[in-house]
Chains A and B, each alone.
Chain A
Amino acid sequence: MLEIKNLHANIGDKEILKGLNLTVNDGEVHAIMGPNGSGKSTLSAIITGNPSYTVTEGSITFNGKDLLALKPEDRAREGIFLSFQYPVEIPGVSMVNFMRAAINAKRQYQGQEPLSSTDFLHLMREKQKVVSLDNRLANRSVNVGFSGGEKKRNEIFQMAMLEPKLSILDETDSGLDIDALRIVAEGVNLLKRPDNATIVITHYQRLLDYIVPDVVHVLYKGRIVMTEGKELALELEKRGYEWIKEKFDA
């Protein structure tokens, strides 16, 4: 599904990713772990086309398409979804209007008619259940006045609405208490299908108790330095990242 080869990327003049390789297949859950500043969030920004970052070398293909040639909105409509580490507040744009625009943009891209109001509202209510999101929030401005937990649940709700092929969860566990974490994780598991895939970016092992990865990668200094099974997450939890640093700084 996703194939990243020798990816180098900068923010400003600073090189963050330094030759990253990653392959994700249908049905897989990949965890990307690593110490702060290793480039985890940069990776999600590059895959989604955040204009603050520039790719200097390498390639990303997504279901056979050259992802780097696509605009952010077209990457999204090809099926890439990012659950933001810091979901953005948009005063004055209601959740309903925001989601309607997103859903209909995707449908248009796929050559489908816009959803009727009734069907759309029905879909909203159905998908809110995935993460127990209060229907009241639908009429509020996007993420404005949402608690930390509500913001993260709102991300997974949007994921449920858009049914992406590849979901990237960027530090979705940060700032969540254990109950919210469970709701979010259950939502993600519910959305799992043989034909979609998930990349879980996290600093801690905690989330991976609930969303069990097939593969765990360690990202350090802009490269994936280690790829193993889910046991690696437990080992990192126990031993921290110091030994990784010692091993790969040498």
Chain B
Amino acid sequence: MTPNSNTDIRLLTGVTDELIRVKLGTRNRFRIERDAMVRLVLTNDVAETETDIVVDENAQLFLYEIVDIPDAVRHSRLHIQQSENAHVTVAQATLQGKETLSDISVDLLAPGAQVTLAGLSIVDDERQATTRTHVRHLAPHCETFEIYKYILSDHANGVFDGLITVAPDAQKTVARQTNKNICLSPEAKMHAQPHLIINADDVVCNHGATVGQLDTDALFYMRQRGIPEAEARQLLLVAFLDDVESHFADALRQDLRSRIEERLMTR
């Protein structure tokens, strides 16, 4: 697909497992039509992008984005509106980037809408990676699953600011939000702010955030089996990201895995 002029709406229909590569412009609008299933791989070479996506009834959308450019400054804003039984997965990996911001807002407008937001960030040097998410449960019987993981080293700075709001009539909401982070150096900083605002009483919601170091018991166990320390660390860090990585399309995973491994080689 070619870059579109600023505010055209691109209509996407049909069911396909194929990955469609989309180069984003500054301003982007998509509509995923009823019953469609679409897998998009987003790329861009502009610093600021803003993308609106409407997902119609029973449609499924998978969005994948991998940022892997050392000096990249990327601010991407994504706004998704989901109709009845619309299912959306957004999987993002920030492997390199000088300063990245991913700002995602999702409106679950009708029953049966489900969204999965998954992200991993490997941040080093003086780099900064920020994720902001806001999912609004505006109708009953909707589900949110969020998982974000960061590995920070050197003087890196990470921010996760996740908000899920549940409207008064959004009963039977199921929402889970998880943010786990590993700081490999004492100077690396993670700011984790998970929030839930719940105004309905019949819901299952939980959230949790952890910031820790590499598991020293696991590290020693591996070294006791003869695995050199650097390799053991790499294996543990790759494993830490595994459940985020699993949200990417199979066709992307092998390449993503080897890029993650390479990125974590010297951590």
Whether chains A and B associate is yes
B240 touches A92 (CB 8 A): yes
**Interfacial chain B residues near A84, Cβ < 8 Å:** 221, 224
A73 touches B228 (CB 8 A): yes
A48 at the interface (CB under 8 A from B): yes
Q: Which of B221, B239, B240, B241 contacts A88 (CB 8 A)?
A: B221
B231 touches A93 (CB 8 A): no
A69 at the interface (CB under 8 A from B): no
A50 at the interface (CB under 8 A from B): yes
> In the complex, what distance in Å separates the CA atom of A162 from the CA atom of B226?
9
B239 touches A93 (CB 8 A): yes
> In the complex, what distance in Å separates the CA atom of A89 from the CA atom of B218?
7
B231 touches A90 (CB 8 A): no
> In the complex, what distance in Å separates the CA atom of A73 from the CA atom of B241?
24
B240 touches A98 (CB 8 A): no
Min CB–CB distance B4 → chain A (angstroms)? 39
Given contacts A91-B239, A92-B238, A93-B235, contact A51 B220 (CB under 8 A): yes
- Stretch in A99-107, A185-193, A209-217 touching the partner: A99-107
Q: Nearest residue in B to A105 (C-beta to C-beta)? A: B226
**Interfacial chain A residues near B226, Cβ < 8 Å:** 73, 76-77, 102, 105-106, 109, 162
**Interface contacts beyond A76-B224, A101-B227, A101-B231: sample of 20 additional A-B pairs, CB < 8 Å, sorted by A:** A48-B224, A49-B224, A51-B220, A71-B229, A73-B224, A73-B226, A73-B232, A76-B226, A77-B226, A87-B221, A89-B218, A90-B236, A91-B239, A91-B242, A92-B241, A93-B235, A98-B235, A101-B225, A101-B232, A106-B226
B75 at the interface (CB under 8 A from A): no
A93 touches B224 (CB 8 A): no
> In the complex, what distance in Å separates the CA atom of A233 from the CA atom of B8?
84
Sampled A-B contacts (9; CB under 8 Å)? A51-B216, A52-B216, A88-B221, A92-B241, A92-B242, A98-B235, A101-B222, A102-B225, A142-B221
Q: How many residues of B contact A (CB 8 A)?
A: 24
**Partner-B contacts on A (CB < 8 A):** 48-52, 71-73, 76-77, 81-82, 84, 87-93, 97-98, 101-102, 105-106, 109, 141-142, 158, 162
Q: Nearest residue in A to B225 (C-beta to C-beta)? A: A102
Q: Which of A50, A89, A93, A97 contacts B220 (CB 8 A)?
A: A50
Q: Across the A-B interface, how many residue pairs have beta carbons closer than 8 Å?
A: 79
B231 touches A105 (CB 8 A): yes
Min CB–CB distance B89 → chain A (angstroms)? 20
**Interfacial chain A residues near B236, Cβ < 8 Å:** 90, 93
**Partner-A contacts on B (CB < 8 A):** 215-218, 220-229, 231-232, 235-236, 238-243
A73 touches B238 (CB 8 A): no
> In the complex, what distance in Å separates the CA atom of A197 from the CA atom of B228?
24
**Interfacial chain B residues near A162, Cβ < 8 Å:** 225-226
> In the complex, what distance in Å separates the CA atom of A162 from the CA atom of B227?
12
**Interfacial chain B residues near A98, Cβ < 8 Å:** 222, 225, 227, 235
**Interfacial chain B residues near A71, Cβ < 8 Å:** 223, 229
**Interfacial chain A residues near B228, Cβ < 8 Å:** 73, 105
A73 touches B218 (CB 8 A): no
Q: Nearest residue in A to B238 (C-beta to C-beta)? A: A92
B223 touches A90 (CB 8 A): no
Q: Which of B218, B229, B241, B243 contacts A90 (CB 8 A)?
A: B218
**Interfacial chain B residues near A51, Cβ < 8 Å:** 216, 220
Most buried by A among B216, B217, B221, B229: B221
Q: Nearest residue in A to B243 (C-beta to C-beta)? A: A92
Min CB–CB distance B1 → chain A (angstroms)? 35
A73 touches B243 (CB 8 A): no
> In the complex, what distance in Å separates the CA atom of A247 from the CA atom of B218?
40
Q: Which of B225, B232, B239 contacts A92 (CB 8 A)?
A: B239
Q: Nearest residue in A to B228 (C-beta to C-beta)? A: A73
**Interfacial chain A residues near B243, Cβ < 8 Å:** 92
> In the complex, what distance in Å separates the CA atom of A73 from the CA atom of B116?
40
B223 touches A73 (CB 8 A): yes
**Interfacial chain A residues near B238, Cβ < 8 Å:** 92
Q: Which of A49, A82, A88, A97 contacts B235 (CB 8 A)?
A: A97
B220 touches A72 (CB 8 A): yes
Q: Nearest residue in A to B230 (C-beta to C-beta)? A: A73
> In the complex, what distance in Å separates the CA atom of A184 from the CA atom of B228?
28
